[in-house]
Amino acid sequence: MCSILGICGINGTKDRAKKQEGLIKSQEQSAKKALSQIKYRGLDAQHILTKEGITFGHCLHAMIGFIPQPLKGKGMLTANCEIYNWKELGEKYGIAAKNDADLLFQLLEKNMPLSEILDEIDGTYAFAYARDGRITLARDILGIKPAWYSLGNGFSFASEKKALAAIGADDVFELNPRKILVYDSKAGRANFINRPFFTTTPEADAPKEKVEEKFEALLASAIQKRIPQQKFGLLFSGGLDSTILAAILKKMGAEFTCYLSVFDHPTLKQPEDIEFAQQAAKALKLRLKIIKTSLQHAENDLKKIVPLIEDTNATKAAIALTFFEACRQAKEDGCRALFSGLGADEICGGYERQRNSADINKECFSSLLKIYERDLYRDDVVGMANGIEMRMPFLDRSLVEYALKIPQDCKIGEHGSKLALRWLAKRLAIPEAIVGRKKRGAQYGSRFQTAVDLSAKKNGFTAVPEYLKNLTKTSNPALGALISTGKDSWYAAWRMAQQNYPIRCMITLESKNPDSFMFHTPAVSLAALQSKASGIPLITIRTEGNKEEELNDLKKAFDKAKRIYKIEGIVSGAIHSTYQRDRIETIADGCSLKIFTPLWHSGQASLVSEIIRLGFRAVLTAIAAEGFDGGWLGRRIDKKAVEELISLHKKFRISIAGEGGEYESLVLDCPLFRKQILLKEVVGSMDGRNTGKLKIVQAKLVKKD
């Protein structure tokens, strides 16, 4: 891994008439400053080059030969790439390339269509190529290699957000892996080209044994091609995923060390990862290093990690702490790369939310859409801060493409989840205790989540997010909250706000169709009052509500929110409706917005009870299910109401949270509100034995109780 950087049209002065020579000098100074922020990404060489008024920078972490960048010819390239088939492509196209970056450069110099080049490449990458005043910025389809950009003052890009922040770049965004950015430096205009993602159809039509064989072969190939010439190791927990990687690497005759880091505290039991890791190491004859970290050591490292990953999400910080300790030891041992089991849960159905789904592959697809925001940037910067390149065979393109089409009974069954991996583990003679081990998040098996909790308490903070926010000046991605005016959408927004995600705006769709498949309609006009109550600006888009066509209006709303409030992501209150969740995610991803669904597959009874406990005040505005009557209209959702909803669920199988349209709600007060809504006049009307709506004639804001 390396660092890439580019600047075009930023002179850092108020003098817009400054000569080209001065502009270039200023760009190069800015490039030098930006690279200094992320120089740890490549200590082998650092270079800055300007061509046609465009300045590129590069820090080299040499894995294949020593070829400093940027590369220059007809065009100019800065690349952070691992292309595993570069020699084969060199033979195919008659290119005598010195390494993978050189091969990429020469393919681009041939003026081949970019889509053809990216289809040919087997590997991971983030690169920028400039030629004839056009700069093309692209990254691999899952986002394993990072890329950030700004169009606030000219155009700039870098491997890490902090590099652009250091030179005062405005409105810095992470490049969506499903987009290619093309910047015309002469016109000062950017274009985005869409890239096709994976699909889940058609499902693989083969007997279970054949599926197992192909999956194993693809995984073995993914591992083999990633084995570097330099010394390397494996992030190890004694879990199913990392043990399978260790067993296959051992079978291939590779020399490597397994690294496990844990939180060690005298008042706590030994972290469970130690027992499983030692058992696996003994059975497979692995070289295992266990790094034990004290509370003080963990606390000191958190002060480095939180600014490093540029995120104050508690889970991300705890996982980063786990990896940071292992990477540091691997660096001391002379390793240049570490294998990671990340991606196994995403492609094989290892999460609880996947096990509860009627369509496992769709859940896997959804997880992969979000992985670049949730995991990949964190792991990349943690590794590179220690001079370590992360290698993730479970995210190999061919393996992912196949795994997303594996029949459901090869992933989830009565004997558990990730069945394809458990079958493989048995064939590799992995101990039964590990084959059957349930998923345990890295932050829990290592106890580093406890270390974060104790550090917060020790420093006088009652909430971990507040403690982590105190460790950095950076902020989490700014979000737009998709608000229906109901309890779930507001609770989802509150959950994200509690994790330090700024809620920049509300987004509400007013549908003319009362039977819209996508959007809540009762009392939706009160979103304006909720906006005043919360102080969060509102974007309202009206839609005819025609099925599927209404998604175009959702896109308009997202685009408007991004343009006006510079949001980076969308939060929605979806719980179980895949119809809504899938469409929201598709539109959001197409708008280059990150996706957050914090309530997805939550237990409905516990979720509604938690909403009440936190002080949310909501009333029912519509009913449409067996067991309801007119007495429910305008009724507050309180403890007694939840008990009755649970009874109705048992009797009629209604959704306790009302997500199936059984009822709609209106939030009158919540922790995000500065004032509360008072309903002064309402009229309830029934249009059937179990269906009815509440008409709100008059409402106003009043002081909170």
pLDDT tens digits for 114-133? 999 999 999 999 999 999 99
Contacts of 42 by beta carbon, 8 Å cutoff, 6+ apart: 1, 2, 3, 58, 59, 60, 61, 62
What CATH number was assigned to the domain covering residues 208-469?
3.40.50.620
At residue 258, φ and ψ (nearest 5 deg) are -90, 135
Question: 474: closest CA among 502, 503, 449, 443?
Answer: 502
Residue 157 parent element (H or E): strand 155-158
Residue 193 parent element (H or E): strand 189-194
At residue 310, the 3 state secondary structure works out as: coil
Are 150 and 8 in contact by the 8 Å Cβ rule? The answer is no
Break the chain into its structural domains and give their ranges. 3-194, 208-469, 479-702
In angstroms, the CA 584 to CA 578 distance is 10
Token output for 107: 């393919």
479-702 is classed CATH 3.30.70.1380: no
pLDDT of residue 12: 42
The gap between the terminal CA atoms of the chain, to the nearest Å, is 55
In angstroms, the CA 655 to CA 17 distance is 64
Query: In Å, how far from its chain's centre is CA 593?
Result: 11
Amino acid at 671: P
pLDDT of residue 10: 55
In angstroms, the CA 511 to CA 549 distance is 12
pLDDT of residue 520: 67
Contacts of 127 by beta carbon, 8 Å cutoff, 6+ apart: 4, 77, 78, 79, 80, 81, 101, 104, 137, 138, 139
pLDDT of residue 14: 44
pLDDT of residue 585: 95
At residue 296, the 3 state secondary structure works out as: helix
Are 86 and 103 in contact by the 8 Å Cβ rule? The answer is yes
Q: Do 3-194 and 479-702 agree at the fold level?
A: no
At residue 294, φ and ψ (nearest 5 deg) are -80, 170
pLDDT of residue 66: 85
At residue 113, the 3 state secondary structure works out as: coil
DSSP assignment string, 608-620: HHHHHHTT-EEEE
pLDDT of residue 301: 96
pLDDT of residue 9: 80
At residue 110, φ and ψ (nearest 5 deg) are -75, -5
3-194 is classed CATH 3.40.1190.20: no
In angstroms, the CA 411 to CA 446 distance is 26
The segments of the chain whose pLDDT lies below 70 read 1, 10-20, 354, 356, 517, 520
